[in-house]
Structure 1
């Protein structure tokens, strides 16, 4: 029996996928628990429409991500830090500081949890960080630490 999954089911599939299962498993577990619905022609049409809408949303989101990436790669973000006499900064640069600098200088608000700094930044100069936008969209940006 073919069913359309409404929710993710372990060892079976993801939501909005077509799955072939034994009829007893579908009638006694998947359908009553609201994990799936029967794959009749009406439900298949609804599924196709949902997939089309989802594809359009993903395309629009990808276009926005590409726009943000181009702006971020245009010029490095400047981050001010208090320094000693040897160009070493007090403390270190964090993802929160990078997120705030991107919001102030570029106008885009990013979640600080999506920003990863590969090594500790404790000196003035040009450094790199990576931003994970989700769905495998990862980009590397540069930021410049300057003395305040």
Structure 2
């Protein structure tokens, strides 16, 4: 029986894979546990729609990450700390120091 995996199954494949398994394994184990759907026209359309939505979501996240990265590139921050004779700092620059400087 042809099935579509709803979740990643270690021995079979990743979520969204269309695979062929024995009828009994599909009907008695995978489908009742919501690990797979039967690969009929309706479920294949459903899978394509989910993949399309995931792609759109990934593009949106990527665009916002690129926008945020370009904003971060423009930010400059200087933190003055005490140093020893060998130009090594005493202590550490912590996240709270950076937050205060920004």
Compute the TM-score of the two structures, normalised by the length of structure 2.
Answer: 0.78
Stretches of structure 1 that go unaligned for 5 or more consecutive residues are 106-148
Higher helix share: 2
Mapped pair 1:101 → 2:98: yes
Higher strand share: 1
C-alpha separation in 2, matches of 1:67 and 1:57: 15
Match of 1:53 in 2: 53
Compute the TM-score of the two structures, normalised by the length of structure 1.
Answer: 0.57
Match of 1:83 in 2: 82
* Structure with greater Cα Rg: 2
Q: Is the 8 A contact 1:81 1:90 kept in 2?
A: no
> Displacement of 1:81 after TM fit?
5.6
Compared CA separation, residues 89 and 19, structure 1 to 2 (3 A): same
Match of 1:109 in 2: none
When the two chains are superposed, the root-mean-square deviation of aligned CA atoms in Å is 2.6
Match of 1:122 in 2: none
Match of 1:36 in 2: 36
